Amino acid sequence: MGMNLNSWSEQRLAGQRLMAGFDGKRLGQQLQRLIADLHLGGLILFKRNLESPRQIADLCRAAQRHARECGLPPLFIAIDQEGGQVARLGPPFTRFPGNPAIRDKADAERFARITATELAWVGINMNMAPVLDAAPEGFESIMAQRVFGSDPQRVARLGEAVIAAMQAGGVMAVAKHFPGIGRTRLDSHLDLPRLDESLRSLEAYDLVPFRKAISSRVAGVMLSHVLYPQLDPEWPASLSKPIARDLLRRQMRFDGVVMTDDLEMGAIACHYGFDAAVGQVLRADVDIALICRSAEKLRRAHALMVRKIGASQKRRAAAKASAARIMALKGQYLD
């Protein structure tokens, strides 16, 4: 996928860093305008967008065609299809009981192989999975029904199997929720959880599966809306320079695409505010901001990013580096 990022406008550099949720099951006028006006880099689908395999395929095909007609790179089209509690696609797509029911590597590979085949069949090219959080035995984890288990080595092995099979099937895997939320009880959709553990403690437990995912060339990593005060007392992982840039990129050497969880969730809305969060995405060198509902917030985020990217050469250079990571991934999977 040829590109000259030096010639990219601030509008395009900003837009490729946005992944948008939207209403409707068709490529309506609002979605057409969002893709064209904001130079969107990706879409994320929810149950409100899904009706049947044919409808989903038509929607994805129409969105990609519209992006192409607007002179844009191909879109990431993502979904949360973990199996179990979090599975946006119902029948006739295969229903899996979820990560707690996966017994071994063969189970993990079967889930990933079938899921990748079905997602690719309808034009979805990215799955927000696997969950690589580990939840200690006997701990009332918010993630108890979504994890592979309590042993981080086992989580790492099964996660690696999912990543390999999913990506062999042409669907990008996104490991979540870095640096690990299995030891939290509070729901970040509603409020801001805290995990007051040292880096040494995280290294010994929560980070183990993510290290394996990085060595397995996972396409993306999603950051958690959780505050880790011993790593960053001010910002949650999703907006944290010490966690996103220093720990994940520099120390753990992840060179793929890094994204936030949904910036409309309560953890952000109740404690930081939307505009501050968008600015922090840029400061922390996070590649993609997820905004899963509001078209107005998408437009606001884009305008803020455009202004900040245009304000300094340093910010523009960081935006080009982010665009290069995004385009490298699109070139690998979407050419």
Rounded to whole angstroms, how far apart are CA atoms 175 and 184? 18
Give phi and psi for 86, each to the nearest 5: -115, 90
Active site residue 177: no
Please pick, among 23, 104, 189, 255, the residue that the annotation labels catalytic: 189
Give phi and psi for 288, each to the nearest 5: -130, 130
In this structure, what DSSP letter does residue 51 have?
S
Neighbours of 332 (CB within 10 A): 14
C-alpha dihedral sign at 162, 168, 174, 179? positive
Which residues are CB-neighbours of 276 under 8 A, at least 6 positions away?
Answer: none
Rounded to whole angstroms, how far apart are CA atoms 301 and 320? 18
Please pick, among 133, 206, 232, 261, the residue that the annotation labels catalytic: 261
Active site residue 189: yes
State how beta strands 76-79 and 126-127 pair. parallel
Q: Which residues are catalytic?
A: 189, 261
